[in-house]
Structure 1
Amino acid sequence: MTDWFATAIIGPGRLSLFFMMLAFATAFAFIRISTRMIRADVSWWPGNVTPGGLHIHHVVFGLVMMLVSGFGFIALANYHTPAANCVLAAVFGVGAALVLDEFALVLHLRDVYWTEEGRTSIDAVFVAFAITVLFVLGVHPLGFSGADVDTDDAATTIASIVLLVVQYGLATIVLLKGKIWTGLFGLFFPPLLVVGAVRLGRPRSPWARWRYGSRPEKMRSANRREDTLRGPANRAKIRVQEALAGRFDGDSTS
């Protein structure tokens, strides 16, 4: 295990990413435990931060940590500081977890932490963590691998540009069809983009509103697929979300 870590993480220069991933996961687990303790009115738990009666949400602390770590990275950009980079990456990971845990609050501009809309925060955390893990393992989207392109070869350059345009064009279509996970992971595994682009869009997606409004048979098919295929998967996802993050209902108390 030590040899693998040295070869796969330290050797390629991904130690800072690893620290960010570890800090992100730890901070998310801690803040969810904290909010669940607060929601349960556990007497010995510190509770919300409310100076002068003002409830300061943890997204604020997350933003400050991300700003501080970002400034630190910029200030040290011209220096070889591997230890400081790992510390700053961990601070950024904690800040990102705190911000994304309240992503739904930022999106809706109101406290929806324990409501149905609050599930958006968990989706954002899952997506961010999954993408971070892929980067830590050395899996990158096309165009972000760090590999040099032979710009002296016009044919190679043109082919690379066309490939990038096609891939990101397909990703846009998939995202417009409401397939967020397929679109994001398709950037790392392009065949997923082809499958997502040719399949029906989800009934509430922008694509369905634009393309299926005058084609009721397409909308019926999209609704049928949503009920038969996505329904069980969505219920399973909700069970996982609530096992990790707590039960969501109409009570926005934290």
Structure 2
Amino acid sequence: MGHWFTRNIVEPGKLPLLIALTSFLLTFFATRTVTRMIRAGRGPFRNISTGSGVHIHHVVPGVVLTLVGGFGGVAADDRGATATACAVLFGIGAGLVLDEFALILHLDDVYWTEQGRQSVEAVVLTAALLMLVLAGFSPLGVDALTPEERQNRAGLVLTLAVNFVFVAVAFLKGKFRLAVIGVLVPFVALFAAVRLARPGSPWSRRAYRRRPRARARAGLRAYHHDRRWTRLSRRFQDVIGGTPDD
């Protein structure tokens, strides 16, 4: 059964990635369930702290498990039980770490604040990228090249360089999510690169400094985009990670 699943459902060599992704998502949802119960004062779960009153966040065991699973997976010379166990450990560790991504970013306990939404965004974006890889997308669109094009190193380097430029421009224009996805899907990076920059982005501050019309158009487009999608995005984040404190 496992042989059939590996041969017909998952591409060769991608089974550990599927196991790691599954462990990652299950750990994140389990962690959010426990933290929401602790926050509501229900169930047997409580925050872990040392005798001196230091609150031990779950990012701490997450880092340890990520290191053990990552280094163990690199050292494993087989695709059997060792690779599977390392994939599970790495997925669990990554789920614990990214669940508190906002705390690492801000160096403060912002878990149930508005800034804490960044943890949910990081988890969703990571899961989406891994699903794209499992679906057959290769970084920078290399999978779209024919065998003849793969042999042509100049064409390959040019393809990678052009897409890297699109990704870099998208980052400078403040379109971080599209830029990250564009690493795997070149059309997304191109789409983000040719559109107007978001207000306050490095590109907007430099390129639109003496172009008031472009600044106004960019601000109006960002306003309509945020008005249309921000509320829906926040509801989705609240369903997954819980509603932040007022």
| Fold shared per TM-score above 0.5 | yes
Percent of residue pairs identical: 38
Please name the residue that 1:51 is paired with.
50
Shift of 1:17: 0.7
User: CA offsets, 1:76-101, max 9 Å, x none?
Assistant: 2xx22422111111110111111111
Output one character per residue of 1:201-252: Cα deviation in whole Å (capped at 9) or x when no partner. Answer: 11132222222233222221111111112322121111000011100134xx
Q: Distance in 2 between matches of 1:91 and 1:124?
A: 19
Determine the C-alpha separation between the residues in 2 that align with 1:56 and 1:5.
Answer: 39
- 1:65 corresponds in structure 2 to 65
Q: Are 1:23 and 2:19 matched, yes or no?
A: no
Q: Does 1:236 align with 2:235?
A: no
**C-alpha displacement at 1:23, in angstroms?**
0.3
> Displacement, 1:166?
0.6
* Number of residue equivalences: 244
Return closer, same or farther for 1:15/1:114 CA change in 2, 3 Å cut-off: same
Which residue identity does 1:7 align to in structure 2?
N
Q: Does 1:163 align with 2:155?
A: no
1:149/1:111 CA distance change after superposition, 3 Å = farther
Q: Are residues 1:248 and 2:240 paired?
A: no
Rounded to whole Å, the distance in 2 between the matches of 1:6 and 1:91 is 24
Structure-2 residue corresponding to 1:85:
83
Q: How does 1:181-220 map to 2 (within 5 A)?
A: 181-220=177-216
What CA distance in whole angstroms lies between the structure 1 residues aligned with 2:150 and 2:17?
32
Deviations 1:25-76 (A, max 9, x none): 100001111111111112x322111121210011111100011112212332
* Residue 167 to residue 112, structure 1, CA distance change in 2 (3 Å): same
Name the CA distance, whole Å, in 2 between partners of 1:152 and 1:133. Answer: 24
Q: CA deviation at 1:5?
A: 5.7
- TM-score after normalising by structure 1: 0.88
Are 1:114 and 2:112 an aligned pair?
Answer: yes
Q: Deviations over 1:96-137 (max 9, x none)?
A: 111111111111111111111111111111111111111222
**1:152–1:223: structure 2 CA closer, same or farther, 3 Å change rule?**
closer
What pairs up with 1:118-157 in 2 under 5 angstroms? 118-142=116-140, 145=143, 156-157=152-153
Q: Residue 142 of structure 1 aligns to a residue in which SS?
A: helix
By how many angstroms is 1:140 displaced?
1.5
One-letter amino acid of the counterpart of residue 203, structure 2 = W
Letter in 2 for 1:204: G
Alpha-carbon RMSD? 2.5
Distance 1:161 1:143 in 2: 12
Letter in 2 for 1:33: T
The structure carrying a bigger helix percent of its residues is 2
Consecutive unaligned residues in structure 2, runs of 5 or more: none
CA contact (8 A) 1:171 1:184 kept: yes
**Counterpart-to-counterpart distance in 1, 2:82 and 2:6:** 20
* Unpaired runs of at least 5, structure 1: none
Residue identity matched to 2:181: F
